Amino acid sequence: MSGRGKLRVLLGAAPGVGKTYDMLEEGRRLRGEGVDVVIGILETHGRAATAAMAEGLPEVPRRVVEHRGVGLTELDTVAVLERDPDVVLVDELAHTNAPGGRHAKRWQDVEELLSEGIDVISTVNVQHIASLNDVVETITGVRQLETVPDEFLRRADQIEVIDLAPSALQGRLAEGLIYPAERIDAALSNYFRLGNLTALRELALLWLADEVDVALQHYRDEHGIDATWEARERVVVALTGGPEGETLLRRAARIVSRAGGGGDLLAVHVTSQDGLRSTHTSDLAAQRALVDTLGGTYHALVGEDVPSTLVAFARSMNATQLVMGASRRGRWQAALTGPGIGATVIRESGDIDVHIVNHAAAGDRMQLPPLGGALTPRRRLLGFGLALLGGPALTALLLAGRSPESITSDVLSYQLLVVVVALVGGLWPALFAAVMSGLTLDFFFIQPLFTITIADPLHVRALLLYVVIAALVSFVVDRAARRSRAARRSQAESELVQAVAGSVLRGQDAVAALTERAAEAFGLTGARVLRGDQVVAQSGAWDDAATPTVVPLGQDAALAYVGGSISAADQRPFDVITRQLAAALEHQQLTETARTIEPIAASDRARGALLSALSHDLRRPLAAATAAVGGLRSAGSSLRPQEASELLQTADESLAALSTLVTDLLDVSRVQAGALSLATRRIDPAEAIAPALDELALGPGALELDLRHDDALVTADPVLLQRVVANLLANAVRFSPPGTRVRVATSTFGDRVEVRVIDHGPGVDEDRREDIFLPFQRLGDTDNTTGLGLGLALSRGFAEAMGGQLRPETTPGGGLTMVVSLPLARPDDQHGPEEGRDEDPDR
């Protein structure tokens, strides 16, 4: 064969969706068309339908590898290459090969087959994609050790999702079409939960959708296509940081919603390269939060040419529409400065639709720059000095070389002086230099000499040009000075905020960090945060003789400082710090209050529950026993034997119930104190289940046993495990409807054995399931014949003390399933549970 083979990948959300079956079905179809198809490797996992579909397809013999005394079979890449088929079917692309083979991973075997020109059809589950590995672990709680690189998958010629609804997949699992019967309960309760399957399905579809976008963009780049392809609506919103941003975002969101829910919303803010464009940071932060609420994405770009940057971004995202706000410039400003950003974007947008949205801030009146300027007084004085000294010096120099032909160079020399003065001192020194230069030229160099006479109107124009040039240069200098000052100011404020945030992130107390940074940033000798008369935080040296400046921080808190003052320019960052201080103090106070109240509240709840339980549950058997003994004493020999026996039986039962209640109370106190003594050993779970059944005297009509843990052993305390099972069985029998049976099932899952007690009663709402494990809680049950409500609290405490877990689940069809999960015992371990191992549901 010549050239590279083609790879087709069948992607599934979970095991059992039918990837392998579809791969074999495609192989049979191709073979029917005369294509040479072979099975390279197939994993049927005991599924009869899959094995039946493979019949009739030739299979390349597997390579046998000896590993730790066990014979493992792997894909024989050499044999496939020698067979040289047109298409080879390779199951489970993410599989790790046994040591000593040609490649470490099966996908590397596939890569070699492709390089030799052989087409490959393979299968993989979404949990094995490398970039999604951590996401899948978060969803399912199971970490996958076998992965396929995204780069390899994205090079596939065709990727197809084999989709199956989660409920249908659970039905296949329950019918035994995916796993053997002993693994079904564990799988349904763990990896194959409905929420897990739904999330994995969505993950697979989203990954494939992203792959389609990447492929489309790659094709457009290869073919130099800049035109928008409207595969779906992508709406870009241009945010300036002004208050109109919220209006633009909501308008864009309505445009996306009208696209049938399949569009994308992209908000973009362009910052100039010098970072000095004025932006309302608070408005921009609020708009960014609104973007998240609307389901869009936020993008920050840097570019001096805003229109070109916006259009380039829209084209790179294959946007179909661009939403902008109407210009905030007035008509005079637009006339003087030319077309604005909106007009330029419309001209350059091409086939991208541009929406100009009106808003309240559109068309504001023009504001002239302040005459005071941004230059320092020192620079303005230097400018006046340069004009006063430079003018006479230049005049003397020009007079020395004066001639009738030098008038042009004389005029340009004075113009140069005006520009230099404007660069140094700004507007007023430049205007002064312009007027003085014009008068000097007229007096010394223009006929009639030594008189200030403007005989020619052209001379008036020249003087006006001097003034205009001075004003324009001064405006540029003033604007540059403003930007430079703004840049330095922004950098200082940013460093201040960064320093405060860094101090808090490094673990420093927020109030102390803010106080310390405030003193440093504003040059204060000392700063204190006070709550009433108490000093919460202090920085620097405090002078008790000085009169402090006090800034209220809300309620009874304040910031006091000495040895400095806050200028008008520093007021904004100072206000930021004071607001953060107020918030930090409020959070600190709430935390302290909660910390103080929580133990009291918990104690009150426990005390109230205990008193309530004692007043009912302990009083009943005590009263019955007292009445029985009192009846025996008062009646004496007058009682008939049968009556005396009944009273003795009542007293015995009541005292036994009272002893059980007291024992439960003592056990709860031991569990909470961590003082529970254990006598663990390796046992079969059935050793604890059988005595629990005898203890409750449950007949065969009330119970169904399904023990499928084979010979697996756990490390547990037999007595405590029996009490756990007995408590769970008692609850299940009590809440089961008449005519139904409680089911006790065991199974192995990974490195654990799970005991399930399943009923079909009313169940418990998910938001209240943790409440049933609290002592003295019976979820509103007022039946005082059932104990103190300690059974489940004790059961969970016992299970956790043995290294296990106790969790509630919903029974399929209604009811509650209580799952006791215990670690498998190691053959050489008589005391502790084994450390957990990785579990791959697809292997």
The answer on pLDDT for 85 being more than 80 is yes
- Residue 208 pLDDT: 72
More confident residue, 703 or 223: 703
Look at residue 495 in the predicted model and tell me its pLDDT: 60
Over residues 675-700, mean pLDDT: 77
Separation of alpha carbons 503 and 147, rounded Å: 40
pLDDT of 1 reads: 47
Domain boundaries, the chain: 7-222, 234-357, 377-481, 529-674, 681-823
**Are the C-beta atoms of 361 and 242 separated by less than 8 Å?**
yes
Assigned superfamily of 7-222: P-loop containing nucleotide triphosphate hydrolases (3.40.50.300)
CB 811 within 8 A of CB 826: no
State how far the Cα of 479 lies from the Cα of 473, in Å rounded to an integer.
Answer: 10
* Mean pLDDT lowest among 111-120, 284-293, 324-333, 661-670: 661-670
Higher pLDDT, 823 or 218: 823
- Please give the residue that has the higher pLDDT: either 290 or 176: 290
Distance CA 126, CA 137 (A): 12
Q: What is the pLDDT averaged over residues 392-407?
A: 81
Average pLDDT over residues 787-800: 72
- pLDDT (0 to 100) of residue 403: 77
pLDDT the model gives residue 395: 86
CB-based contacts of 787, cutoff 8 Å, min separation 6: 617, 660, 661, 664
DSSP classification of residue 329: S
Q: Regarding beta strands 264-271 and 234-239, do their DSSP bridges make them parallel or antiparallel, or are they unpaired?
A: parallel
Over 70: is that where the pLDDT of 363 sits? no
pLDDT for 641: 77
- pLDDT at position 780 is 45
Top-confidence residue, 166 or 817: 817
Biggest alpha carbon distance in the chain?
Answer: 156
d(CA 778, CA 760): 18
Q: Provide the pLDDT for residue 662.
A: 66
- Angle 804-809-811 (CA atoms, 0-180°, nearest 5)? 135
The average confidence (pLDDT) of the chain is 76
Per-residue confidence (pLDDT) for residue 839, from 0 to 100: 39
Q: Is the pLDDT of residue 507 over 50?
A: no
Q: How confident is the model at residue 167 (pLDDT cuts 50, 70, 90)?
A: confident
Q: Do domains 7-222 and 234-357 have the same CATH topology?
A: yes
Confidence of residue 5 (pLDDT cuts 50, 70, 90): very high
| pLDDT of 619 higher than 90 | no
CA–CA dist 318, 742 (Å, integer): 60
Q: Is the pTM of this model over 0.85?
A: no
Q: What is the pLDDT of residues 21-56, one digit of tens each?
A: 999 999 999 999 999 999 999 988 878 888 889 998
Residues 15, 127: contact at Cβ < 8 Å?
Answer: no
DSSP string computed for 206-233 = HHHHHHHHHHHHHHHHHTT--S---SS-
**Segment of 291-300, 359-368, 562-571, 811-820 carrying the highest mean pLDDT:** 811-820
**Among 129-138, 359-368, 449-458, which is the least confidently predicted range?**
359-368
pLDDT score, position 836? 35
pLDDT exceeds 90 at position 165: no
Q: Which residue has the tokens 């304040």?
A: 558
Residues 797, 723: Cα–Cα separation, whole Å: 11
pLDDT given for residue 224 in this prediction: 56
Cα–Cα distance, 405 to 407 (Å, whole number): 6
Closest CA to 803 of 753, 741, 748: 753
Q: Which of 26-30, 273-277, 568-572, 695-699 has the highest mean pLDDT?
A: 26-30
Q: What is the mean pLDDT of residues 516-527?
A: 77
Q: Is 681-823 a domain of CATH 3.30.565.10?
A: yes
The CATH code of domain 529-674 reads 1.10.287.130
Give the helix/strand (H/E) hosting 198. helix 194-222
What confidence category does residue 59 fall into, taking pLDDT thresholds of 50, 70 and 90?
very high
pLDDT of residue 41: 92
Question: Which of the four pLDDT bands, split at 50, 70 and 90, describes residue 275?
Answer: very low
The sign of the dihedral angle between the CA atoms of 486, 489, 493, 498 is positive
Provide the 8-state DSSP code for 615.
I
* CA 391 – CA 434 distance, rounded (Å): 10
User: What's the pLDDT score for residue 837?
Assistant: 35
pLDDT score of 123 more than 90:
yes
Worst-scoring range by mean pLDDT, 18-32, 134-148, 496-510, 563-577?
496-510
Top CATH class, 234-357: alpha beta
Q: Determine the pLDDT at residue 828.
A: 58
Beta strands at 526-531 and 353-357: parallel, antiparallel or unpaired: unpaired
- DSSP-derived secondary structure for 425-489: H-HHHHHHHHHHHHHHHHHHTSSSTTS----SHHHHHHHHHHHHHHHHHHHHHHHHHHHHHHHHH
Dump pLDDT digits (tens) for 87-116.
999 999 988 888 877 888 999 999 999 999
